[in-house]
Amino acid sequence: NAGVTQTPKFRILKIGQSMTLQCTQDMNHNYMYWYRQDPGMGLKLIYYSVGAGITDKGEVPNGYNVSRSTTEDFPLRLELAAPSQTSVYFCASSSGQAGGRSPLHFGNGTRLTVT
């Protein structure tokens, strides 16, 4: 009964490095999301997916890429890390039974620092 699992919990990157934030869910949810939370700014949607093989941009997609090859996994890729990408990243999933209105189940986040 793990729900949404994110790895790693913490990471420090140097400017220009790349990395992949992992996200997996065991609830057989169709919809998956990546958000970032900056201090005082709430959660901003980066990318989302309504099913395997389908991805769409959210509010702040620049500098990121995603893929959805399976229902369970939705990794987020940072190709050239920049200080502006310092943030806490949350992955979430939902059943999608009510479309984009379905309540989200969140992972515990990945705290990323780019220096």
Partner 1 sequence: DQQVKQNSPSLSVQEGRISILNCDYTNSMFDYFLWYKKYPAEGPTFLISISSIKDKNEDGRFTVFLNKSAKHLSLHIVPSQPGDSAVYFCAASDNNDMRFGAGTRLTVKP
Token duo for residue 75: 């990794």
**Binding residue (CB under 8 A) for partner 1 from 19, 27, 52, 104:** 104
Select from 18-26, 65-73, 79-87, 90-98 the region that touches partner 1 (CB under 8 A).
90-98
**Binding residue (CB under 8 A) for partner 1 from 1, 14, 62, 99:** 99
Interface with partner 1 (CB under 8 A), residue total 25
End-to-end CA distance of the chain: 36
User: Per CB under 8 A, does 77 bind partner 1?
Assistant: no
Q: DSSP letter for 95, please.
A: -
Task: Kindly identify the residues of this chain, within the stretch 17-36, that bind partner 1 according to CB under 8 A.
Answer: 33, 35
User: Per CB under 8 A, does 100 bind partner 1?
Assistant: yes
What span, in angstroms and rounded, lies between the C-alpha atoms of 66 and 39?
24
Task: Determine the residue type at 98.
Answer: A
Contact criterion met (CB below 8 Å) for 1 and 9:
no
Of 72, 60, 83, 63, the closest CA to residue 30 belongs to 72
- CB under 8 Å to 39, separation ≥6 — which residues? none
Select from 19-27, 62-70, 79-87, 104-112 the region that touches partner 1 (CB under 8 A).
104-112
Query: What residues make contact with partner 1 under the rule CB under 8 A?
Result: 4, 33, 35, 40-45, 48, 58-59, 90, 92, 98-101, 103-109
